[in-house]
A and B are shown apart, each in its own frame.
Chain A
Amino acid sequence: MTFVSFEFGVLLTLTFTLFWSLPHKGRAPLLLAASYIFYAYWNPWYAGLIFLSTGIDFLAAHYISLQKSESRRRWILWTCVAANLTLLGYFKYTNFGLSALRAILGESGAFLPSALDILLPVGISFYTFQSMAYTIDVYHGRIKPEPSFAAFALFVSYFPQLVAGPIERASDLLPQLQRRAVWNEPMFEEGLRLLLWGFAKKLVIADRLGAVFFPVFQNPAAHGAPDLIVASLGLFTMLYFDFSSYTDMARGTSCLFGVRLSENFRFPMTATSIAEFWRRWHITLSNWVRDYVFIPLGGLRARNPWLRFRTIMITMGLIGLWHGANWTFVIWGLSNGLLLALHLAVQTRFQARLKKSRWWNSPPAAFMGWAFTMGCHAFSVIWFFSPNIASALNHLDRIATFSAWQQALDPVTTSGGLLLVALWIVHALGERFSILESLGRLAAPARAAGYLLIFAAIVGLGTARSATFVYFQF
């Protein structure tokens, strides 16, 4: 069940009503039951899978805390990480691995099956990373192991953030889930505000952008290069609104139960460099990868620039692979890695000069940086949305064709492009003048008018049938 569904509305209403009617003792079991119902609604087998994943990490963390010998602790940790990655790998990457193997082996790999009938559990990448991080944190002594299995199971399966994040840390979420929730009207209102806002972003903006730009993107042969570039920018913007709307809804839903979830986006489309973009985009994943992959691999500490380059590429390649079992995602990650490495190299090499440069810190330079960042993403997103390498190359080839540039903008992409510009302006202003925060500060009648306006926009301008969230497939 997705957030934009009738079933979810029923589940949320029931859970919310029961949650605030029950004494403290009954609340966590209620949330756990609701979370498992939420997840099993897709497929009952999914519940078994998440239970298995929870069990592995709970036991591993427990045994790690009991061991005094470092080698045993490390052995348990690696076994746990391997078990988690095996589960993730089997469900998500088996068919990808088989096709890669068949490609490498050529004719001698003909005995391998082309694909296995494996159902990809929604959100497996999200909860596997979240539970695995808990075990790693226990190993490093950053947190103590959670003694209650039920509490830990709730931490892993907490339904507002189960299928598409934000990826929470145990140190943030576990205490919130365990403390006695006290009714807090401003927080309740904030939750509803975020839910409304999320719905508006998904139904009014993301789905409409998708309806305009997907048909252009999926048929490059019929469109000129300017159309294809605008469509890529449109899909990049759609991706932001789609994913951030989910995060808003997740945070809003969680606020209704007195639990605050992390922010996942900080106006990423205002970023003036690739590095800044990744500090603003999917923040909880970026932080996770930074803490559990990038820094352990050496981060930026290595003096040798090639070692730094290697670390960045491995990290970004993994981010790409995390998104999906397809070479296109790997290339998407690596292309971002390459740009990131280039950015860091330039910054390191010319740091002293750039700091002093008046031009470098001027608005025109910032604008150029922004345009460059957006341009890079317009190209990298082609890899993100293409079903395979051939299709992405075909797309890029069309853009590179001289005759494709002679074709004028299609009226559809022109309209969509104008909408994009309007959205970017609002988005850029939003960083200085956050609509949501400003709305929250107004007097009650003005706030109510604002909510009514958003509600009317959802009802009147929202798509009748919502498309699935893009990040559900990960």
Chain B
Amino acid sequence: LKPGGENSRLSGVLRTLFQRVWVWFLAGFIFLQVPLWLGIRHWQESLSHEIRNPGHRRGWYEFVRATPAAHPGEEVILLLSNSQGYGFEIPDRHIYANWLQTNLRVQERNARVVNWSVPGPTYFDFLVLAAAARDLKADHILFVLTPGPLCEPTHPSLEGHHWTSDVHYLLHDRTLRQRLAADGLSHRLSAGIWADIHLGALWPVWRWRAWIPSQLAKTRALRPLFPMEKDSAWIAPPTYYGRQRKPPLAPLNEAAARRLLALLHEASPGLIVVDMPLAESWRGPDPAQHQLRGITRELSIPHLNLEASIAESHFITATHLDARGHLEMARLLTGAIP
């Protein structure tokens, strides 16, 4: 090193930089991104993009974006449902989405079932997924539900936006926002959620920030500190899953129902609305269900009533099927898909 020469100037600059806390902070921050990003990639690769979706809260951005559109000659069936479709307490291999795919493949159809069921969905979860469904080029969409998420005042008060999952991160996609412009999702988001969406796109780790609380929440003693961040798909208290009488539903929000069905119909003309199977205690006359049937009839959308089609013994709760129930449900749906 020559005193006063280029090299000593360089070492001086380096020394000054090494004394700066922000340099170390940035270096540490960048360094930490590598394992975090690798972890997310690992999770993404571990997912079957056909059968098991990310579940309740996290990872919808990666999951939906990584779900490939239908290839030429491939038949794609999109399942949009709630925790029943997701497969409450049922292993991946035994949920009806999987059986449905197997059944169709047995018939030598090049079929792929994509399961976008959100446990405890809100109207907005469905709305964003319905808008994203168009890119999937699905041959059929099976919309299996009870009208709960479409009822007032449960969720579709269009004044607010409620998501059960983190599907709102998909709204970073401008095309998706444009599709939902009429629903106000492109401009009525609060600044906080807006920043959240963009930060989530810019820095993927941000979308996964609830992972640590969800892991901590697995420890019983710590669970009360993380009331909303349980990793499980099941946020409702256990009593909800008993066999008690069905709570009366509020009237259907017709505008919300029509909008959602229109979006799904745009995404695939092969849309089939299915009344999901329910245990006896939950069956019965329901004005919201009649209203929904009226709308599907009016829009010429096939409507399949499977409410009472599964034997009582195949339910583990009033709304969730056991493994045999899933098998039976797959058989019924296989017959319904033309």
Partners in one complex: yes
- A445 on interface, CB distance cutoff 8 Å: yes
Smallest distance from the beta carbon of B25 to chain A beta carbons, Å? 4
- A7 on interface, CB distance cutoff 8 Å: yes
- Partner of A448 from the list B24, B191, B211, B226 (CB cut-off 8 Å) is B24
- Partner of A447 from the list B18, B21, B223, B229 (CB cut-off 8 Å) is B21
Tell me whether B224 and A444 are in contact (CB under 8 A).
no
Which B-chain residue is minimally distant from A185 (CB atoms)? B20
Which A-chain residue is minimally distant from B25 (CB atoms)? A448
List chain B residues, Cβ under 8 A from A461.
212-213, 216
Which A-chain residue is minimally distant from B26 (CB atoms)? A448
Smallest distance from the beta carbon of A426 to chain B beta carbons, Å? 16
Tell me whether B227 and A444 are in contact (CB under 8 A).
no
- A224 on interface, CB distance cutoff 8 Å: no
- A212 on interface, CB distance cutoff 8 Å: yes
- B19 on interface, CB distance cutoff 8 Å: yes
Tell me whether B221 and A449 are in contact (CB under 8 A).
no
- B32 on interface, CB distance cutoff 8 Å: yes
Which A-chain residue is minimally distant from B20 (CB atoms)? A444
- The 0/1 profile, CB within 8 Å of A marked 1, for residues 24-35 of chain B is 110111001000
Interface residues of B in 1-41 (CB under 8 A from A): 18-25, 27-29, 32
- A418 on interface, CB distance cutoff 8 Å: yes
- Partner of A452 from the list B18, B25, B194 (CB cut-off 8 Å) is B25
- Partner of B209 from the list A6, A416, A460 (CB cut-off 8 Å) is A460
- Give the CA-CA distance A66 to B205 in the complex, in Å: 62
Interface residues of A in 427-474 (CB under 8 A from B): 444-445, 447-449, 451-452, 455-456, 459-462, 464-465
- A411 on interface, CB distance cutoff 8 Å: yes
List chain B residues, Cβ under 8 A from A419.
225
Tell me whether B220 and A212 are in contact (CB under 8 A).
no
- B210 on interface, CB distance cutoff 8 Å: yes
Give the interface residue-count category, chain B: 20 to 34
Tell me whether A7 and B191 are in contact (CB under 8 A).
yes
List chain B residues, Cβ under 8 A from A43.
none
Tell me whether A451 and B21 are in contact (CB under 8 A).
yes
- Give the CA-CA distance A448 to B23 in the complex, in Å: 8
Tell me whether B18 and A418 are in contact (CB under 8 A).
no
- Give the CA-CA distance A7 to B193 in the complex, in Å: 11
- B47 on interface, CB distance cutoff 8 Å: no
- Give the CA-CA distance A9 to B209 in the complex, in Å: 19
- Give the CA-CA distance A75 to B157 in the complex, in Å: 57
Tell me whether A211 and B225 are in contact (CB under 8 A).
yes
Smallest distance from the beta carbon of A446 to chain B beta carbons, Å? 9
- Give the CA-CA distance A461 to B222 in the complex, in Å: 12
Tell me whether A444 and B225 are in contact (CB under 8 A).
no
- Give the CA-CA distance A461 to B27 in the complex, in Å: 22
List chain A residues, Cβ under 8 A from B223.
415
- Give the CA-CA distance A189 to B223 in the complex, in Å: 35
- Known contacts A5-B191, A7-B191; A412 and B224 CB within 8 A of each other: yes
5 A-B contacts (beta carbon < 8 Å)? A415-B224, A444-B20, A445-B24, A448-B24, A455-B29
Residues in chain A within 8 A of chain B (CB atoms):
5-7, 9, 189, 208, 211-212, 411-412, 414-416, 418-419, 444-445, 447-449, 451-452, 455-456, 459-462, 464-465
**10 closest A-B pairs (Cβ-Cβ)?**
A448-B24, A6-B195, A460-B212, A412-B224, A448-B25, A444-B21, A415-B224, A6-B191, A452-B28, A445-B24
